[in-house]
Chains A and B, each alone.
Chain A
Amino acid sequence: MVKQDIARKGDGTMFRFRSFSQKAMGASHKKEDLPCQDAVLNYCDDSMAVAVVADGHGSPQYFRSDIGSQIAAQAALDGICSFVRQISEDSFEEWNSDWLPQLVKNVVATWYEGIDRHEIDHPLAEDGKMEAIDERYRTRYLNDSERQYFSHAYGSTLIAVAVTDQFWFGFHIGDGKCVVLFDDGSWEQPIPWDDDCFLNATTSICDDNAVQKFRFWYGPTEKDARRPAALFINSDGVDDSYPVNENEKYMKYLYRAVVLSFAKEGFESTCQQISELAEKFATAGSCDDISIAGIIDEGISADFLKALEEQDAADKLREQAAEARKQAEAKKQLLQMNRTKAKQAAKKKDALQKKAQAAEQGLMDKETQLRERRSLIKRAISSAREERDRAQKAFTQAQMELSSADQEYENLEKLARKAAEEYTAAEELARCAEQRLLALRDTQADISSGASQAMDPPADGMDTIADMEVRTFPIGDIPAILFGPASARVYLFLHSEGGQKEDAEEFGKIAAAHGWQTLAVDIPRQSGTDGQALYPGIMISELRKVYQYLSKNWRQIAVRADGLNAWYVMMALHDKPLEQCLFVSPVLDVQSAIDYAVQSDSTQTDQIPPDEIELAAEYRIYAEQSPLCKWRVPTEILFAAGDVNVWSVGDFGEPNPCKLTIEQNCGRAFAEPEERERLRAWEQRAISATDA
């Protein structure tokens, strides 16, 4: 609210000073729902102009500072007006330095009276705001029976200035500023500063020794004296909106603009603009409560204004230059920092580059190694491929060679077979030749000795039995007997179990009649004299020995055998060239015969040593493991009807060249005379078949 009065001097000379005051509530106060704690007042009449600013403290324990500031402002205004009027009435001649301390004393006392009344009317203890303050302050307030502390709740700063015809003065406690433009164009903050006021800290009217803490300023307004052209006072919200350094400079710029505005825009408009400016400080500046008040000389000359404008322009230029300098300095500093940073970055870059180079070198080394390894691998692969190709070729070659070898082997085999055949033929021829040689030798012997023997085998002795030549001799350790005159043909006679070689006599006669000699042997077991078991392998081996002997001495060989001997013959001589075989009651199937003998206790088992079951088992295993080979020799078989072995002939039959004769009513041994006759007849007939 603008408070102003236009006053004129009583002598008709216009009193040129007008006062004004504006305030705005700080944004921070609005935000925290606090009242505006500033108070401003101004007064002027035709003899004086007064402006007052009081700034109530913001902290919670000063919760009545908005009232305290109002009371302080009013006390100051009233005190000043009263003081000025009193001095005017007294027509003083000389300024008394005691006046201002006394004035301040009065103001402080008035303030205390005011707050005392207020507190009595509105006791602090009943104030809800007490709840929000710190405990220690609350305790002090509530225990303030001496009323020594309650004033703190109303704490405030205070600045007041006044101008009269004769003098001008100001007093100040706490922060805030008082700025004066003198009529010589100079700007000053004439009231001394109190260093106890720093940042948020300030002295206060509520301080115990507040009167002593007030600072004063006084000056004359006489014609020749340097007089003020404008006085401004403000709460700290204004100067806090500017940097602390050269704060005076900023305040000067601010109030110079205000002075020029008063001169150019007029009082009312400028007051309005100051109000807007206060709002700006309150919202965009310090955000504190803002108070601006002052006294302006409305009669300043156009020249002074011009000078002020020039000063303003010069300051602006200076300011621009300073700003440019500052910016240049800042840029220089930034440049320096960037340069240092760039150097550091360059160092880092170098280090990284070195690292990268090392890494690159490492990579290259690795690549080289890899290349070498790849090359090695390639060579190895190539070598392996070559080896594979070589192996493939070798394999193919080997296959071809194998195939060729197979072919060769086949050819060789053919040749071998052919050779074997030729060898067999040659052997046969040799045997024949030998036979012929033997025959020739016999003939020669006959001629020389007049004997009719065709052969002269080693003999133990020579005898004649029933007009037949008989010789006995051993074949190795096998006793042998040879019947009949010398011939290229011989029958091997194997007597039956329990018989002897001499049993061949009758057969020898028949054979001799047909040009065959007959050789009978006593293979040890057969002889009945040797109690040792005759295992089939031994018998077969012995038979082969005998045959070997026969084949050396006769061209044609035939066999006459009984019972199990027939089986021995087939086992031993199946691969030998035999002219004929005559089997009497032969055992052709040893396995079945043994099984039958063991199971049925048949008398037929006399063909196998009955007391040698173990041996029988041996025979059976042998027969099982050594089946009969293909039998190609022309064979005649005589069975007595009822011989169990006759049924094995079926297995023996075709394609074997076998002729079977079964005699009825005969024992298988053909032992009876009549049976023997029938046996001789059969032998006669069978041998005669060889005559052709």
Chain B
Amino acid sequence: MSLAENIPIARKTMVLFFVVDTSGSMIGSKIGTLNSAVEETIPELKDLSSSNADAQIKVAVLSFSSGTEWLTPSGPIEVENFVWNDLNAGGVTDFGEACRELNKKLKKEEFMESATGSYAPAIVLLSDGGPTDEYVTGLNELKQNNWFKKAIKAAIAIGSDADKSVLQEFTGASEAVLEAKNKKELRKIIHFVSVRSSEVASRSAQTGDGAKSKQDIFVDDLSNLFNNITDDSNDEDDEGIIW
């Protein structure tokens, strides 16, 4: 058996992180829509992963309210094997704690162990309020994390009460913060951000510090496509109830 036949090559991996605010204010249609929207997005991510020659997509989910909890405690799961378990809401918004927990796992010895080469993770933060803990330290530590730096970061502000300035601090760009005003928009934005960030993050790209970063490419996509997401969201039905 020749070397080429004998040497296995690992499939590259891209990890999609959902960082979800499950504080008390999410109770009701927000958490319900979020649950169903992410669950509905999983099949498309599966298709993307199976049809993507570039990278395998894995999913990790961190929920935070009064403390944090990984829904995938053993690490990211291949999206093909991923099962979305409905999140329940309740408690306060320990966003700083969530940043620290994310920072802890964004290491090659932890959740990034299977990441390869140039495939930075995609991190989607969903929140409807503002931090109730001291978050600045945690967020600053996280921002020093190389994986976080290179990651595609998007934040979804659920309703108008979400503290968008904090979300912008998290993503590093106001363009990467999308506001969902109702169920329909939340559903669409979750779908779009999850799939699109995964597409961009899992795509081979030119290397070098002068190349457009994947975050820049993603933000460009958001700017181009966000209007399409929200254009027809103002229906009078139940989906159109403003948060």
> A residues within 8 A CB of B227?
none
- Check B114 for interface membership: any CB of A closer than 8 A: yes
Q: Which of A247-297 contact B (CB under 8 A)?
A: 247, 250, 253-254, 257-258, 261, 270, 273-274, 276-277, 279-281, 284-288
- Check A59 for interface membership: any CB of B closer than 8 A: yes
Contact, CB under 8 Å: B208 / A277: no
Q: Which of A202, A239, A277, A285 contacts B3 (CB 8 A)?
A: A277
Contact, CB under 8 Å: A243 / B10: yes
Cβ distance B186 to chain A, nearest Cβ, rounded Å: 20
Cβ distance B144 to chain A, nearest Cβ, rounded Å: 12
Q: Which of A33-84 contact B (CB under 8 A)?
A: 57-62
A245 to B209, CA, bound (A): 23
> B residues within 8 A CB of A32?
206
> A residues within 8 A CB of B112?
244-245
Contact, CB under 8 Å: A280 / B12: no
- Check B150 for interface membership: any CB of A closer than 8 A: yes
Contact, CB under 8 Å: B116 / A276: no
> B residues within 8 A CB of A247?
108
- Check A134 for interface membership: any CB of B closer than 8 A: yes
- Check B74 for interface membership: any CB of A closer than 8 A: yes
Closest to A278 in B: B4
> A residues within 8 A CB of B209?
59, 200-202
- Check A332 for interface membership: any CB of B closer than 8 A: yes
Cβ distance B161 to chain A, nearest Cβ, rounded Å: 27
Q: Which of A200, A244, A340 contacts B113 (CB 8 A)?
A: A244
Contact, CB under 8 Å: A244 / B85: no
Contact, CB under 8 Å: B117 / A241: yes
Contact, CB under 8 Å: B115 / A244: yes
- Check B207 for interface membership: any CB of A closer than 8 A: yes
Closest to B117 in A: A240
A contacts with B, residue count (CB < 8 A): 56
Contact, CB under 8 Å: A334 / B211: no
A332 to B115, CA, bound (A): 21
- Check B77 for interface membership: any CB of A closer than 8 A: yes
Cβ distance B19 to chain A, nearest Cβ, rounded Å: 18
Q: Which of B166-204 contact A (CB under 8 A)?
A: 204
Q: Which of B82, B86, B109, B210 contacts A134 (CB 8 A)?
A: B210
A276 to B146, CA, bound (A): 34
Contact, CB under 8 Å: B4 / A279: yes
- The number of A-B residue pairs with CB atoms under 8 Å apart is 140
> B residues within 8 A CB of A340?
83, 85
Contact, CB under 8 Å: A28 / B204: yes
Contact, CB under 8 Å: B2 / A241: no
Closest to A348 in B: B86
> B residues within 8 A CB of A242?
9-10, 116
- Check A92 for interface membership: any CB of B closer than 8 A: no
Contact, CB under 8 Å: A59 / B210: yes
- Check A538 for interface membership: any CB of B closer than 8 A: no
Closest to A247 in B: B108
> Secondary structure at chain B's binding surface: helix, strand, loop or mixed?
loop
- Check A359 for interface membership: any CB of B closer than 8 A: no
> How many of chain B's residues touch chain A, expressed as a range?
35 or more
A568 to B207, CA, bound (A): 143
A58 to B7, CA, bound (A): 26
Contact, CB under 8 Å: B108 / A244: yes
- Check A333 for interface membership: any CB of B closer than 8 A: yes
Cβ distance B216 to chain A, nearest Cβ, rounded Å: 12
Contact, CB under 8 Å: A332 / B74: yes
Cβ distance B91 to chain A, nearest Cβ, rounded Å: 19
Contact, CB under 8 Å: B210 / A286: no
- Check B13 for interface membership: any CB of A closer than 8 A: yes
Closest to B113 in A: A245
> Given A199-B146, A244-B112, A246-B113, is A341 in contact with B10 using a C-beta cutoff of 8 Å?
no
Contact, CB under 8 Å: B115 / A243: yes
Contact, CB under 8 Å: B83 / A273: no
Contact, CB under 8 Å: B86 / A344: yes
A566 to B133, CA, bound (A): 136
A32 to B118, CA, bound (A): 17
Q: Which of A629-643 contact B (CB under 8 A)?
A: none
> Given A242-B10, A276-B3, is A341 in contact with B207 using a C-beta cutoff of 8 Å?
no
Residue of B10, B78, B117, B150 ringed by the most chain A CB atoms within 10 A:
B117
Q: Which of B65-108 contact A (CB under 8 A)?
A: 71-74, 77-78, 81-86, 108
> Given A243-B113, A284-B9, is A277 in contact with B4 using a C-beta cutoff of 8 Å?
yes
Q: Which of B6, B86, B118, B210 contacts A199 (CB 8 A)?
A: B118
A637 to B43, CA, bound (A): 128
Contact, CB under 8 Å: A243 / B207: no
Contact, CB under 8 Å: A58 / B73: no
Cβ distance A335 to chain B, nearest Cβ, rounded Å: 10
A247 to B77, CA, bound (A): 20
A281 to B12, CA, bound (A): 12
> A residues within 8 A CB of B84?
341
Contact, CB under 8 Å: B207 / A334: no
A667 to B206, CA, bound (A): 154
Cβ distance A316 to chain B, nearest Cβ, rounded Å: 11
Q: Which of B3, B116, B146 contacts A198 (CB 8 A)?
A: B146
Contact, CB under 8 Å: B207 / A59: yes
- Check A330 for interface membership: any CB of B closer than 8 A: yes
- Check B120 for interface membership: any CB of A closer than 8 A: yes
A274 to B3, CA, bound (A): 7
A155 to B211, CA, bound (A): 14
> A residues within 8 A CB of B115?
243-245
A398 to B2, CA, bound (A): 117
Contact, CB under 8 Å: B204 / A241: no
A332 to B143, CA, bound (A): 32
Contact, CB under 8 Å: A276 / B2: yes
> Given A241-B9, A274-B3, A332-B74, is A60 in contact with B206 using a C-beta cutoff of 8 Å?
yes
Contact, CB under 8 Å: B117 / A276: no
Residue of A281, A333, A344 ringed by the most chain B CB atoms within 10 A:
A333
User: Quick one: CB contact mask for A332-358 with B, threshold 8 Å, 1 for yes?
Assistant: 111001101100100000000000000
Q: Which of B44-84 contact A (CB under 8 A)?
A: 54, 71-74, 77-78, 81-84
Cβ distance A36 to chain B, nearest Cβ, rounded Å: 14
> Given A245-B112, A333-B72, is A250 in contact with B210 using a C-beta cutoff of 8 Å?
no
Contact, CB under 8 Å: A243 / B114: yes
- Check A236 for interface membership: any CB of B closer than 8 A: yes
Q: Which of A61, A200, A246, A333 contacts B77 (CB 8 A)?
A: A333
> B residues within 8 A CB of A28?
204, 206
> A residues within 8 A CB of B116?
240-244, 286
Cβ distance A197 to chain B, nearest Cβ, rounded Å: 10
Cβ distance B229 to chain A, nearest Cβ, rounded Å: 29
A287 to B117, CA, bound (A): 11
Contact, CB under 8 Å: B85 / A245: no
Taking A200-B205, A202-B209 as known contacts, 7 extra A-B pairs with beta carbons closer than 8 A to each other, sorted by chain A number, are A58-B208, A59-B208, A244-B113, A277-B7, A279-B4, A333-B73, A337-B85
10 A-B residue pairs with Cβ-Cβ distance under 8 Å, sorted by A, are A200-B208, A236-B117, A240-B116, A242-B9, A254-B7, A273-B4, A334-B81, A337-B83, A338-B83, A344-B86
Residues of A that sit less than 8 Å from B by CB: 28, 32, 57-62, 134, 137, 155, 195, 198-202, 236, 239-247, 250, 253-254, 257-258, 261, 270, 273-274, 276-277, 279-281, 284-288, 329-330, 332-334, 337-338, 340-341, 344
Q: Lowest 9 CB-CB distances: which A-B pairs, in order?
A: A240-B117, A59-B208, A245-B113, A59-B210, A273-B3, A59-B211, A337-B83, A276-B4, A58-B207
